[in-house]
Copies of this chain bind each other. A is one copy, B any other.
Amino acid sequence: MPSKSNLEALRKEVRAITNEIMRLVGLRLSLTERIDKVKRSMGLPIVDYRVERDLKSSVIDTCKRYNVDERFGMRILNLLIEEAVRVQKSSMDESERTISVMEMFTLAKRMEEEGKKVIHLEVGEPDFGPPEKVKRVACDSISKGFAKYTEPSGLSNLRKSIAEYVNERYKIDVSSEQIAITSGGRFSIYASIMSNLSLGSEAIVIQPAWPAYIDCIEAISGRAIVLKTKLEDGWRPDLESLSNLVNDFTEMIVINYPNNPTGKVLESRDMKALVDLAKDRGITILSDEVYSEYSFKPSHSILEFDDVKSICASSFSKSYGMTGFRVGYAISDVNSIRKISRIQALASTSVPEFIQYAAMEALKCKDDVKRYANSVRRRIGLVCKELSKMGLSYYAPDGTFYVFPKIGEDDGFNAGKFALDLLKEKNVGVAPGTTFGDYPDFVRISACQSERSLLEGLERIGEFLE
């Protein structure tokens, strides 16, 4: 019998239960603090994924029993875990913060404003700029007034042109509805992660890696699970270890080949094994392919594998020297693309119209792309030769415009401090290895400058290392 008093009684009950939940939350937190103390005294790490996962499985069972939506149960649990980790971490010593590439770049720019001549080996921005034709089309489009809002997913002609380009390149068959134009490859990554992960889902990131992946995952309170690779293994990801990291809560694996910062391209059989793993476990692969035109040996696109759930993120920044144009794209199934476009609409409506016309023109500039790639390849060769002369070990890149040498040999080496000191004392910017994961012995050198600048920069690094 519905009535006002009935309603009040039910509400009272809800309130009592809610407060009991909070009491238990408090109890739980005090217990995890005790666990933290024990762990600390035993020298164990704060986060133990195995324990977390056991807990998750047990919670899933409870959710089933009491008819709680499992994804919702996971969100609650992950909030609880996150808070416990936050409380535990806040009681630690503030460890030294990692300096980012953007911060190095900003510092270097400030030094230049003060009149110093800095050699930029830190930032992945080619010096050659866009092809002349691209500039011309951008200007013409501005003059003609093509500076209006477009559909959030981008001009349909640009999406069609990209579809044709990838279809021809990879012998596949994607439609323009499977493509969204985004503010750089970065927005494709951002929106892909935003729309595919929820609070507390897990995504595996193979390190060393561009920090944006983990930044984006953590921005939505997802959990980034790291698979480390090593120079000694030629930066090859161990697929058995990868498989062991996968569990029911893994939603995504992020890959990036040719790889920033190592220059690695994945072998065909590894790529296939990785795709099979993702397919078997129903995991989405987010493949960052912004360096695909800078590949010195055959490199697979995730687009070639049509039976796995995937998002290919790409960009005009690197291939066409268009970093400052901020235009990229995502390719996936129609539904995922719709979600990505919705985030683009929410955050910035659309990419500027005339920039989309410039991108359309860029797709025609195949000769320029080849020229750029050849030039970078020569530079990479040069960098490698110099690094060898210095006696440093590194992996000879299969692609990208980076080399990732090991420069620290002893345990206490700190790439962040090294990079800062090098910038201040020798006016040379490099990206510290710690930006890309737990690689305090490494720095990333970007071959985006003229050969002369590269040689000069490397010489100064040599002097500084002595």
**CB of A184 within 8 Å of the partner chain:** yes
Q: Which residues of B contact A68 (CB under 8 A)?
A: 22, 25-26, 29
**CB of A251 within 8 Å of the partner chain:** no
**CB of A142 within 8 Å of the partner chain:** yes
Q: Taking A10-B34, A68-B29 as contacts, is the C-beta distance between A22 and B73 under 8 angstroms?
A: yes
A34 to B149, CA, bound (A): 47
**CB of A323 within 8 Å of the partner chain:** yes
**CB of A350 within 8 Å of the partner chain:** yes
**CB of A325 within 8 Å of the partner chain:** yes
Q: Taking A24-B17, A25-B73 as contacts, is the C-beta distance between A129 and B105 under 8 angstroms?
A: no
Q: Which residues of B contact A69 (CB under 8 A)?
A: 83, 87
Distance in Å: Cβ of A420 to nearest Cβ of chain B: 18
A105 to B102, CA, bound (A): 37
Contact yes or no, B18 A80, CB < 8 A: yes
Closest B residue to A40 by beta carbon equals: B2
Contact yes or no, A146 B324, CB < 8 A: yes
Contact yes or no, A186 B22, CB < 8 A: no
Q: Which residues of B contact A73 (CB under 8 A)?
A: 22, 25
Closest B residue to A84 by beta carbon equals: B14
Q: Give the one of A13, A41, A149, A322 with max B CB within 10 A.
A: A149
| Size bracket, chain A contacts | 35 or more
Closest B residue to A28 by beta carbon equals: B17
Q: Which residues of B contact A55 (CB under 8 A)?
A: 14-15, 18
Question: 8 Å CB contacts to B: which residues of A13-42?
Answer: 13-15, 17-32, 34-35, 37-39, 41-42
A321 to B23, CA, bound (A): 56
A23 to B24, CA, bound (A): 12
Q: Which residues of B contact A75 (CB under 8 A)?
A: 79
**CB of A170 within 8 Å of the partner chain:** no
* Partner-contacting stretch, out of A59-67, A267-275, A372-380: A59-67
**CB of A461 within 8 Å of the partner chain:** no
Contact yes or no, B324 A22, CB < 8 A: no
Contact yes or no, A145 B129, CB < 8 A: yes
- Complex partner residue of A346 from B3, B20, B215, CB under 8 angstroms: B215
A329 to B236, CA, bound (A): 43
Closest B residue to A17 by beta carbon equals: B28
Distance in Å: Cβ of A275 to nearest Cβ of chain B: 28
Contact yes or no, B42 A17, CB < 8 A: no
A135 to B27, CA, bound (A): 63
Interface string of A219-241 (1 = CB under 8 A from B): 10000000000000000000000
- Complex partner residue of A347 from B106, B322, B347, CB under 8 angstroms: B347
Distance in Å: Cβ of A54 to nearest Cβ of chain B: 8
**CB of A6 within 8 Å of the partner chain:** yes
Interface string of A288-311 (1 = CB under 8 A from B): 000000000000000000000000
Q: Taking A79-B79, A102-B345 as contacts, is the C-beta distance between A20 and B15 under 8 angstroms?
A: no
- Complex partner residue of A18 from B59, B184, B325, CB under 8 angstroms: B59
**CB of A454 within 8 Å of the partner chain:** no
Contact yes or no, B346 A216, CB < 8 A: yes
Closest B residue to A212 by beta carbon equals: B346
Q: Taking A25-B68, A347-B186 as contacts, is the C-beta distance between A135 and B142 under 8 angstroms?
A: yes
Contact yes or no, A151 B67, CB < 8 A: no
**CB of A158 within 8 Å of the partner chain:** no
**CB of A453 within 8 Å of the partner chain:** no
Residues of A within 8 A of B (CB): 2-4, 6-7, 10-11, 13-15, 17-32, 34-35, 37-39, 41-42, 51, 54-55, 58-59, 62-63, 65-69, 72-73, 75-77, 79-80, 83, 87, 102, 105-106, 109, 123, 125, 129-130, 135, 138-139, 142-143, 145-152, 183-184, 186-187, 190, 199, 212, 215-216, 219, 322-326, 345-355
A-B CB contact pairs (8 Å), 30 listed: A2-B37, A7-B38, A7-B42, A10-B34, A11-B51, A17-B24, A17-B28, A18-B77, A21-B76, A24-B24, A25-B68, A25-B73, A26-B63, A26-B67, A29-B67, A30-B67, A75-B79, A79-B79, A102-B349, A139-B142, A146-B324, A183-B183, A184-B349, A190-B346, A199-B199, A324-B354, A326-B349, A347-B347, A352-B352, A352-B355
